Chain A
Amino acid sequence: MDKFQKVKSTAVPLPIEDIDTDQIIPARFLKATSREGFGDNLFRDWRFNPDNTEKDFVLNDSTYSGKVLVAGRNFGCGSSREHAAWAIHDFGFKVVVSSFFADIFKGNALNNGLLPVQVSDDYLAELIEAIKANPDTEVEVDLEQQVISFNGNQELFEVNAYKKECLLNGYDDIDFLVSIKQEIEAYEQASEVI
């Protein structure tokens, strides 16, 4: 996994609640056996008509761009498909800001260097308003300090200390788990697992 660097970027507002992973990447695009290329179908059915012409959707609106996606509460609910995190990352986003994240999506994002930043409902509303008022509004996300800010408006956000370490250094869980193999084997012996 790549190291997570400080992000300073304009942002894309998507103030819809309960955005599920079927919207982020519909099931019919999950047939690939590699991790690449899912960004092409990010929000497929919100972006494109069945004849592939563009719909009126924020990702088709050149007014907005950037590495930060700002979405309504309960982002990423539904299916556990990690393809959702891959698609968002592959499209070019490094951060998703919302006032609430679904558990599995949050974990998948963290495992792929995509930072979910959970802010208060009020902060989210102010951020969306600011981006809509001025699409050049820059959002700064400092993982080290756990601070998000725009136009001088700051909020602290939480991130698990272990996952923070992983993101900052580019470590994967798998490296750690493989490194404690002997302890896992000792557990198996002691607990007579079935």
Chain B
Amino acid sequence: MAKTLFDKVWNAHVVKQLEGGIDVLYIDRHLIHEVTSPQAFSELENRDLPLFRKEKMVATPDHNVPTKDQHLPIKEALSKHQVDTLIANCEKFNVELYGLGHPFQGIVHVIGPELGVTLPGRTMVCGDSHTSTHGAFGAIAFGIGTSQVAQVMASQCLLQAKPKTMRITVDGELGKGVLAKDIILYIISKLTAAGGTGYFVEYAGSAIESLSMEARMTICNMSIEMGARGGMIAPDQTTFDYIEGREFAPQGEAFEEAVAYWKTLKTEEGATFDKEYHFDAADIEPMITYGTNPGMGIKITKEIPTTLGEGNQDSFKKSLNYMGFEAGESLVGKPINHVFIGSCTNSRIEDLRIVADYVKGKQKAQNVSAMIVPGSKQVEKQAKAEGLDKVLEAAGFELREPGCSACLGMNEDKVPAGEYCVSTSNRNFEGRQGPGARTLLASPLVAAITAVEGKIVDITKHLN
């Protein structure tokens, strides 16, 4: 029977099949951070278990770190304790740690790919739902809870029921100003925030193949926002070129051998999926969200719907009420006071270049505070080498140090209650960017234009 990309990678990692449809799945790489690992380390200690494969782990603090003055001790006591606990655990268990100040530190889903830890055909997990990002390389990568973090620490395996498969094909050419973020927000708006639950997604089609690795990561990153555990894209020459020469990627002959294997990681002709969707790239326009889950997105040129399909209308009203928007109205012209560019969705060098390219020679609007947080130390270094820092600063943007920052409002980078933020992050949940904060998700280009204009504009007209 013809196999899907997903089947090939999954089947190669099944240690054992149990009754009741559960597989013992081997995990090739385990990424950890300060927030979801301390209780897992404690569990190992409480059970007196050794760490099974420390060499398959990479640790970095990202969620709960300040994005200013990282060379100084962390001021907030609980945050400091959590980061210190990660350091202490990594020392005790001898795990590779890229701590604050280390040239490899950054958001865990940014550093995995840029270090060559993320490779096609690998299984990867992390106690973070955006682990789906790594699927852009043709890896099976998904987020897990802390109990599972402990399981992987103890056995390098997880007990998993094999998910159903879904293929989302996007064919055609993307229009002007349409970025990967718009593709995924468009897809989620069609499938809803629960449309992918129970599935593992493969993204395919000419529009996906035309994307850079960083753009592909943006798409796979948000698979979880429609409920899918993960999303993958078949590796191709774009993938191999990205990986070649990276710190921990296979080198020389080993690289050539790996590429030969990676080339087999494709869905075969005639393979079937449990669900298939087809979209036309020409129908995708710059997107923005208006509600409190990532499925509540619209084309910037369109109005907020008046009902939410078959969903509960009270929940829809609650959401609009929180956002302070009316059903049926357009967002164009709405004043915006905060712009956040960052997160594991859009904090890579290409994202920073898109923003710098647009704002070069312009000024952010007076009413806007614009924060840009690079995804890693390497992204930050590259941005400075290219002079992007100067361009951004001249335009009135504040360039911070790497971390998850205002994506989840865990550190001091928060949006004040009741205020609007156009954000390149992945979640517009109530209070996500701070209690009472109102988030509108969009691409880095839409975010940059919003910062300059101080309000939502119809970018399709604006760019022409």
Residues of A within 8 A of B (CB): 15-18, 20, 22-23, 26-28, 30-35, 45, 50, 72-74, 77-83, 85, 100-104, 107-108, 111-112, 160-162, 172-174, 176-178, 180-181, 183-184, 187-188, 191, 193-194
Taking a contact as CB atoms closer than 8 A, the residue among B15, B42, B82 that contacts A184 in the complex is B15
Report chain B residues within 8 Å CB of A79. Answer: 128-129, 408, 427
Report chain A residues within 8 Å CB of B22. Answer: 160, 162
CB distance from B91 to the nearest CB of A (A): 15
The 5 sampled A-B contact pairs (Cβ below 8 Å) are A22-B427, A26-B431, A33-B82, A78-B129, A174-B155
Report chain B residues within 8 Å CB of A101. Answer: 197
User: Is B81 within 8 A of A78, CB to CB?
Assistant: no
Whole-angstrom CA separation of A82 from B143 in the bound complex: 11
Whole-angstrom CA separation of A80 from B104 in the bound complex: 24
Within 8 Å of chain A (Cβ to Cβ): is B189?
no
Within 8 Å of chain A (Cβ to Cβ): is B332?
no
User: Is B194 within 8 A of A100, CB to CB?
Assistant: yes
Report chain B residues within 8 Å CB of A174. Answer: 43, 47, 49, 147, 150-151, 154-155
CB distance from B272 to the nearest CB of A (A): 22
Whole-angstrom CA separation of A34 from B16 in the bound complex: 32
Which residue among B163, B227, B295, B311 has the maximum number of chain A CB atoms within 10 Å of its CB?
B227
CB distance from A116 to the nearest CB of B (A): 13
CB distance from A7 to the nearest CB of B (A): 21
Report chain B residues within 8 Å CB of A172. Answer: 147
Whole-angstrom CA separation of A176 from B128 in the bound complex: 24
Whole-angstrom CA separation of A115 from B21 in the bound complex: 19
Nearest A residue (CB) for B434: A28
Which residue among A30, A160, A174, A187 has the maximum number of chain B CB atoms within 10 Å of its CB?
A174
CB distance from B361 to the nearest CB of A (A): 37
User: Is B64 within 8 A of A193, CB to CB?
Assistant: no
CB distance from B96 to the nearest CB of A (A): 16
CB distance from A53 to the nearest CB of B (A): 14
User: Is A103 within 8 A of B227, CB to CB?
Assistant: yes
Within 8 Å of chain A (Cβ to Cβ): is B28?
yes
User: Is B159 within 8 A of A72, CB to CB?
Assistant: no
Whole-angstrom CA separation of A82 from B119 in the bound complex: 27
Whole-angstrom CA separation of A100 from B196 in the bound complex: 12
B256-311 interface with A by 8 A CB criterion: 292-293, 295, 311
Whole-angstrom CA separation of A100 from B311 in the bound complex: 13
Within 8 Å of chain A (Cβ to Cβ): is B36?
yes
Whole-angstrom CA separation of A35 from B41 in the bound complex: 12
Whole-angstrom CA separation of A73 from B197 in the bound complex: 12
B416-434 interface with A by 8 A CB criterion: 417, 427, 429-432
User: Is A16 within 8 A of B26, CB to CB?
Assistant: no
CB distance from B384 to the nearest CB of A (A): 29
CB distance from B343 to the nearest CB of A (A): 13
User: Is B193 within 8 A of A178, CB to CB?
Assistant: no
B50-91 interface with A by 8 A CB criterion: 52, 63-64, 78-79, 81-82, 85
Nearest A residue (CB) for B126: A80
User: Is A34 within 8 A of B39, CB to CB?
Assistant: yes
Given A27-B408, A82-B145, A184-B156, A33-B39 contact (CB < 8 Å) = yes
Nearest B residue (CB) for A179: B155
User: Is B145 within 8 A of A104, CB to CB?
Assistant: yes
User: Is A18 within 8 A of B315, CB to CB?
Assistant: yes
Within 8 Å of chain A (Cβ to Cβ): is B252?
no
Report chain A residues within 8 Å CB of B396. Answer: none
Within 8 Å of chain A (Cβ to Cβ): is B333?
no
User: Is A181 within 8 A of B431, CB to CB?
Assistant: no
Within 8 Å of chain A (Cβ to Cβ): is B127?
yes
User: Is A50 within 8 A of B417, CB to CB?
Assistant: yes
